[in-house]
A and B are shown apart, each in its own frame.
Chain A
Amino acid sequence: MAVVFQRTNGLTEKPFHYCPGCTHGVIHRLVGEVLEELGVLGDTIGVAPVGCSVLAYDYFNCDMHEAAHGRAPAVATGIKRVHPDKVVFTYQGDGDLASIGTAEIIHVAHRAEKITTIFVNNAIYGMTGGQMAPTTLIGQKATTSPYGRDAAHSGMPLRVSEMMATITGAVFVERVSVDTPANIRKTKKAIKKAFEIQLEGKGFGIVEILSTCPTNWGLTPTESLTWLQENMIPYYPLGNFRTPEEAK
């Protein structure tokens, strides 16, 4: 028999600290697999965020740097400009990227920095205890919106991919999901494409990945995937918003 699936060399041997059923683990693995398949593990520098994935530097089998909350794109800019021959990526959640780090993510795209951003959107602040994020859905309960998010009070959830697609320097923008094995395979393809575009020096790429937070959503891991399919995908439609061909 031939081995068709095994742990990628793109990850270290350290077990993930994430809650049971948290899809951060799936996304970490996909990034590790892509970096290994592209043969760039030794030439990659990742920037870890603040949030549940603050310890991501322990898990990726490449050089890593930590950034202040939301500032991963700014740190990655510095790294890429000093080391233009290296592959540089940021790994950020929605509390990090869509709230405190909004200025950084807009301007890293605006400057067309040749880096890749992996954006994990689970519609809530995870590490700090389930507070409402800009991406929290209308009616969704969080510790700071116990009756559900109210559009009149907190506005409508922020669609980051649609916003990024309006910026000329963002040459690759795609929203994917990790709710089924088929969608996980599509997510890997999108991540690979984003890194290939960086390797070709075409500009900034972002992959938004719809993800779950069973603990703070108060659901089992299986129920969480169903909740994602029934609530998140209708508001955050999957698909490609920008490719280099369109972005010329």
Chain B
Amino acid sequence: MAKARGKVAFKEDLCKGCELCTTVCPVNIIEMDRTRINIKGYHPATVKEMDKCIGCANCATICPDVVITVEREMDK
């Protein structure tokens, strides 16, 4: 069965740390980066294990601040 591979990019300075993206990720790879603070003063959402991303775009769909761009490719 074809396995989808994806990649997400965050415009971190737009992130308001609402954490909604972390609740809809089917592979649970989005987390809030507690070690950093963005220009708005929030801990931004980030992905550490990008190779697990399936490019479903759930995170980008629920993000209220259009922070996330999603790319996807299907293995043959």
A residues contacting B by CB (< 8 A) are 1-8, 11, 15-16, 18-26, 29, 178, 180-181, 184-185, 214, 220-222, 225
Contact between chains at A5 and B69 (CB < 8 Å): yes
Residue tally, chain B, CB below 8 Å to A: 28
Cβ contact of A23, chosen from B6, B64, B69, B72, cutoff 8 A: B64
| Chain B min CB distance to A215 (Å) | 11
Contact between chains at B58 and A181 (CB < 8 Å): yes
* Residue among B16, B19, B20 with most chain A CB within 10 A: B20
| Chain A min CB distance to B40 (Å) | 9
| Contacts between chains A and B (CB distance < 8 A), count | 80
Contact between chains at B17 and A5 (CB < 8 Å): no
Closest chain A residue, CB of each to CB of B11:
A7
Contact between chains at B57 and A221 (CB < 8 Å): no
Contact between chains at A221 and B61 (CB < 8 Å): no
B residues contacting A by CB (< 8 A) are 5-7, 14, 16-20, 23-24, 42, 55, 57-58, 60-66, 68-73
Contact between chains at A16 and B69 (CB < 8 Å): no
| Chain B min CB distance to A2 (Å) | 6
Assembly CA distance A21 to B23 (angstroms): 12
Contact between chains at A181 and B24 (CB < 8 Å): yes
If over half of B's interface residues share one DSSP class (helix, strand or loop), that class is named, otherwise mixed; here it is mixed
B16 / chain A contacts, CB cutoff of 8 Å: 19-21
Contact between chains at A4 and B20 (CB < 8 Å): no
Instruction: List 5 extra interface pairs beyond A214-B18, A221-B19, CB under 8 A.
Output: A5-B68, A5-B70, A7-B69, A8-B66, A21-B64
* Residue among A5, A181, A214, A220 with most chain B CB within 10 A: A5
Assembly CA distance A201 to B62 (angstroms): 32
| Chain A min CB distance to B57 (Å) | 4
Contact between chains at A24 and B20 (CB < 8 Å): no
| Chain B min CB distance to A180 (Å) | 7
B19 / chain A contacts, CB cutoff of 8 Å: 21, 220-222
* Residue among B16, B17, B55, B69 with most chain A CB within 10 A: B16
A20 / chain B contacts, CB cutoff of 8 Å: 16-18, 42
Assembly CA distance A30 to B8 (angstroms): 20
Contact between chains at B24 and A180 (CB < 8 Å): yes
Question: Could you pull out 14 A-B pairs where Cβ atoms are within 8 angstroms?
Answer: A1-B5, A5-B70, A7-B69, A20-B16, A20-B17, A20-B18, A21-B19, A21-B64, A22-B64, A25-B65, A181-B57, A181-B62, A221-B19, A222-B19
A6 / chain B contacts, CB cutoff of 8 Å: 69-70
A15 / chain B contacts, CB cutoff of 8 Å: 14, 65
